[in-house]
Amino acid sequence: MRSKVLCLILLLFFSYVRSLAQENAFFHQTEVGFLWGKGIKNWDGNYLNRMDVSISTFHGVKISSHHILGFSVGYDKYDQIELIPIALGWRGFLGKAEKQRLFAGLDFGGGAAFLEKKETTQWSSSWYEGGMMVHPMLGVKLPAKKGNWALSASLGYKRQQVSYFRGFLDGSSRSTNALSSTTNLPSGFSSFNETNYLFHSLVFRMGVMF
Amino acid sequence: MKTTKLFIALLLLASGLFFSCEDQVTTTYTYRTMMPVYLEMSDVRARLITTEPAKPLDNPGKIYIYKDYLLVNEPSKGIHILDNSNPANPINLSFIPIEGNIDLAVNDNILYADNYVDLLAFDISKITNIKLVNRVKDVFTHLYRHDTGQIITFKDTVITTDGPRWEIEGGWALRSDMSFTANLSAASKSYGTGGSMARFTLMDGHLYAVDESTMRVFDVQNATDPKFIKPINLGWGIETIFPFQNKLFIGSNSGMHIYDASTPHSPTRMAVYEHVVACDPVVVNEEHAFVTLRSGNFCVNGVNELQVIDIKNPYDPKLKKAYPMLNPHGLGLAGDYLYVTEGRHGLKSFNVKDVMAIDKNQLEFLQNMKSIDLIPGPKSLIVIGPDGVCQYDYSAPSKLRKLSCIQVTNPVIIS
Q: Tell me what the mean pLDDT of segment B161-174 comes to.
A: 46
Q: What is the mean pLDDT of chain B?
A: 79
| Chain B contact present for A136, CB below 8 A | no
Backbone angles phi, psi at B289, to 5 degrees: -110, 135
Handedness of CA A55, A59, A63, A66 (dihedral sign): positive
Residue B9: inside a domain: no
CATH number at residue B272: 2.130.10.10
Domain ranges of chain A: 2-209
Q: Tell me what the mean pLDDT of segment B374-382 comes to.
A: 87
Residue B183 backbone zone (phi > 0: left; psi -120 to 50: alpha; other: beta): alpha
Cβ contact B112:B118 at 8 Å: no
Q: Which residue of A has its CA nearest to B411?
A: A175
> Which residues, other chains included, contact B81 with Cβ-Cβ below 8 Å and sequence gap of 6+?
B54, B69, B70, B71, B92, B93, B94, B95, B96, B124, B127, B130
Residue B3: inside a domain: no
- Give the best residue of B32, B34, B370 to mutate against chain A (max A CB count within 10 A): B32
Return residues 139-178 of B near A (CB < 8 Å): 156-158, 160, 167, 169-171, 173
Q: Tell me what the mean pLDDT of segment A7-30 comes to.
A: 66
Do the chains contact at A174 and B156, CB–CB below 8 Å?
A: yes
Cα dihedral B324, B325, B326, B327 in deg (nearest 10):
-120
Supply the pLDDT for residue A32.
Answer: 93
Q: Tell me what the mean pLDDT of segment B349-366 comes to.
A: 91
Residue B338: inside a domain: yes
Residue B8: inside a domain: no
Q: Which of B243, B244, B205, B260 is nearest to B227 (CA)?
A: B205
Q: Which residue of B has its CA nearest to A177?
A: B410
Does the pTM surpass 0.80? The reply is no
Name the least confident of A54-58, A133-137, A191-195. Answer: A191-195
Tell me the pLDDT band of B337, cut-offs 50, 70 and 90.
Answer: very high
Do the chains contact at B26 and A157, CB–CB below 8 Å?
A: no
Residue B53: inside a domain: yes
Distance separating the N- and C-terminal Cα atoms of chain A: 31
Is residue B165 over pLDDT 60? Answer: no
Domain ranges, residue B145: 29-164+175-406
Tell me the pLDDT band of A18, cut-offs 50, 70 and 90.
Answer: low
Please tell me the distance in Å from B355's CA to the nearest CA on chain A: 30
Is residue B190 over pLDDT 50? Answer: no
Tell me the pLDDT band of B186, cut-offs 50, 70 and 90.
Answer: very low
Query: What is the total count of domains within chain B?
Result: 1
Task: Kindly report, residue by residue over B203-246, the tens digit of the pLDDT.
Answer: 888 889 887 788 889 998 888 888 989 888 887 777 778 888 88
Q: Tell me what the mean pLDDT of segment B271-294 comes to.
A: 78
Residue B37: inside a domain: yes
CATH of segment(s) A2-209: 2.40.160.20
Task: Kindly report, residue by residue over B259-280, the tens digit of the pLDDT.
Answer: 999 999 899 988 888 765 555 6
Chain B hits for A191, Cβ within 8 Å: 29-32, 167, 171, 173
Supply the pLDDT for residue B251.
Answer: 82
Residue B242: inside a domain: yes
| Chain B contact present for A42, CB below 8 A | no
- The beta strand positions in B108-192, using DSSP E, are 110-115, 118-123, 131-136, 151-161, 167-168, 172-173
- Top pLDDT among B16 and B96 is at B96
Do the chains contact at A40 and B158, CB–CB below 8 Å?
A: no
- Top pLDDT among B270 and B15 is at B270
Chain B hits for A199, Cβ within 8 Å: 23
| Chain B contact present for A206, CB below 8 A | no
